Amino acid sequence: MLFRKFNVLVMLILGLAAFGFVITLITNPMYLVRMVLIAAAVGGILYFLYKRFLLKRFGGGGGKDVNKYKQAARYSAQKYQNQPGKSIKKPSKVKPSPKTKSSLSKMKKRTNDHNFKVIEGKKGKKKNRAL
């Protein structure tokens, strides 16, 4: 019941807004154009301030993290570029930097791609219990 009253209220407000828009468009169209331009300017200024200050302050705007991601993506593209068994090859937009002999040897020496470490447990040892 409350939801139905809420819908009627919203429809009434939207109807009055549409009626006011049409009346303003007929009687004073330059006022309407000026209001639209002012609203667009205020929205643009708020968007600029958001992108410039707030987004960087709270860590969503990129910066160091984006640069680190791009560097990791470049490294991954270079590392996995010529692997056998891969049938799908996407054209890489990243231009590979000229590879030196030392960087190629470092990449070839690394055989394990995982970062797992074996932790020795006490599974086979008996507990020293007093009877």
pLDDT at 118: 75
Task: State the average pLDDT over residues 68-79.
Answer: 85
pLDDT at 62: 56
**DSSP character string of 36-102:** HHHHHHHHHHHHHHIIIIIHHHTT-S-THHHHHHHHHHHHHHHHTTT-TT----PPP-SPPPPPPHH
Task: State the average pLDDT over residues 119-127.
Answer: 71
> In 3D, which of 55, 59, 62, 103 has the Cα closest to residue 79?
103
Quick: pLDDT tens for 20-60. Answer: 999 999 999 999 999 999 999 999 999 998 888 877 666 55
Contact 83, 94 (CB under 8 A): no
Say whether pTM exceeds 0.85: no
- Residue 89 in this model has a pLDDT that exceeds 70: no
